[in-house]
Amino acid sequence: MGPEQQAADKLYKTHFGKMVTAMLQFSRDIDLETAEDLVQDAFLTALAVWEHKGIPQNPAGWMYSVCRNNAINALKKNKTFENPFQEDQATNEAAEQEINIFDDRKMQLLFACAHPRLSAKMQVVITLKYVANLRTESIAKALGITVDGIDKILSRAKLRIRMENIFLTEPTPEQLKTRLPVVHKIIYLIFNEGYKAGSGKQIIREELCEESLIMTKSLLDNSICNSDTAALYALLLLNAARLSARFAPNGELSDLEEQDRNLWNNDLIALGSYYMRQSKSESVSSYHYEAAIAYLHCQAKNFASTDWAAIVQLYKQLLQNNPNPFIEMNYAVALYYASQKQEAFKVLHKLQQTFLDHSYLLHVTLGKLYLLEDDPDKSNLHLEKALSLTNFQAEKDCVKRLMMKELKH
């Protein structure tokens, strides 16, 4: 890959969504699909021109100027354009102002994606598309949805955005306040998609986690935040600190018990601990409890020394705030390692009456715990089912490794 392609790819990652929004704001006669076409054309132009003339000093400003000129030409062809600009407003002036043009726009775009008229799935997909600047194929891999499925979600979202001018209306201070919890949830979901094992190639996982951290830090830096934002940032940092240890060198998924803790990032742990202290408030959210659980895991020198009793109590509080089968499953695991094994299996078997019975996670958990209880028949039953419920190779390898342990027993 040449330097021109690298520069274009970097610019796409940081500015695609901002440039699309800039085109929408340039003229109300430009719809979302046209804006995307204008930006895509500008990237193609950039590759052709930069190969012959070199990469400009300000690539983003250069690209914005090309987008703007393409927009003017398109509007002229449609006979809907009346030039609002003075002749002395040269294109290099747009380049000089590039930083001011885009810095606030990313935050505006993030809150636009949290518009209450968009469904939760639309919110996540368009945030990945226009804020995290991921391509459709990458979004599909990250969310475990087909490219066609993502295209359909985007089409419905674009129709809603066009009909209600969602990207053009700047949220009021009150709307920023009311949408902040939705923004938190979107960021949380995106990070989880990156963190969980089934989210595709490693580079996609890392991109999603990185973008979630960047978006949360932007909220903090722009003072568009509250104690929940700091707690969310602490949680993401503490989980990101363990990301590199989740997969063994051979690509196999490593359980928390098996992870090499020397690979954990101590700088991220320290930063996460700092923001957890900063998040102290009379109002305690689910992010506070989850951050506290992640903190206890990070502070334990090894798996055996983990304060499971404290983690059990935190999960109890978390379940009161946010009843959720996945949280309940983690609560059951904590109960098991806190020597409350009978209660742990009771909770897990109760979860088999929910949709989690069709989840790889529940059955691999039961399989592992029954293996620890020296009950190979029940362990094998659940591991076989777990194997049938995943298409992700790292998860299949994890199950096969547990089955090998069964045979050794």
DSSP 8-state class, residue 356: G
Cα–Cα distance, 7 to 225 (Å, whole number): 32
> Does the pLDDT value for residue 400 go beyond 80?
yes
Residue 354 in contact with residue 328, Cβ under 8 Å?
Answer: no
Give the C-alpha separation, 166 to 75, whole Å: 21
113 touches 131 (CB < 8 A): yes
Give the residue with greater pLDDT, 320 vs 164. 320
In Å, how far are 4, 349, 360, 366 from 385, measured between CA atoms? 49, 14, 8, 10
pLDDT of residue 101: 39
pLDDT band at 99 (very low <50, low <70, confident <90, very high): very low
Q: Could you tell me if 325 and 268 are in contact, meaning their C-beta atoms sit under 8 angstroms apart?
A: no
Closest Cα partner for 312 from 291, 301, 328?
328
Determine the Cα–Cα distance for residues 239 and 256; give it in Å rounded to an integer. 11
Q: Helix or strand or coil: residue 196?
A: coil
Neighbours of 344 (CB within 10 A): 21
Identify the top-confidence range among 73-77, 122-126, 247-251.
Answer: 122-126
Which of the pair, 396 or 242, is modelled with greater confidence? 242
Listed residue (262, 268, 266) closest to 245, CA to CA: 262
pLDDT greater at residue 196 or residue 358: 358
Calculate mean pLDDT across residues 156-166: 85
Q: Please tell me the distance from the alpha carbon of residue 285 to that of residue 278, in angstroms, as a whole number.
A: 14
Structure token digits, residue 266? 């101590």
Number of other CB atoms surrounding residue 376 within 10 Å: 16
Between residues 163 and 276, which one has the greater pLDDT?
276
Q: How far is CA 268 from CA 16, 236, 264, 272, 346, in A?
A: 28, 9, 9, 6, 36
Residue 409 pLDDT more than 60?
no
Rounded CA gap, 331 and 344, in Å?
Answer: 8
The single-letter code of the amino acid at 105 is R
Kindly tell me if the per-residue pLDDT of 338 is higher than 90.
yes
Q: Report the share of the chain in percent with pLDDT over 70.
A: 89
pLDDT above 80 for 115: yes
Q: What is the pLDDT of residues 325-336, one digit of tens each?
A: 999 999 999 999
Q: Are 368 and 402 in contact (CB under 8 A)?
A: yes
Please state the φ and ψ torsions of residue 247, each to the nearest 5 degrees: -125, 135
State the average pLDDT for the chain: 85
Is-contact 108 122, C-beta < 8 A?
A: no
Residue 366 CA neighbour count, 13 Å, CB half: 27
Which amino acid, one-letter code, is at 269? I
Please name the residue that has the structure tokens 């320290």. Answer: 270
Task: Note the pLDDT tens digit of each residue in 244-265.
Answer: 898 877 777 888 998 999 999 9
Tokens of 162: 């066009």
Q: Rounded to two decimals, what is the model's pTM? A: 0.79
Backbone angles phi, psi at 38, to 5 degrees: -60, -45
Write the pLDDT tens digit of every residue in 19-67: 888 888 788 788 888 888 999 999 999 989 998 889 998 998 999 999 9
User: Nearest CA to 248 among 141, 383, 366, 397?
Assistant: 397
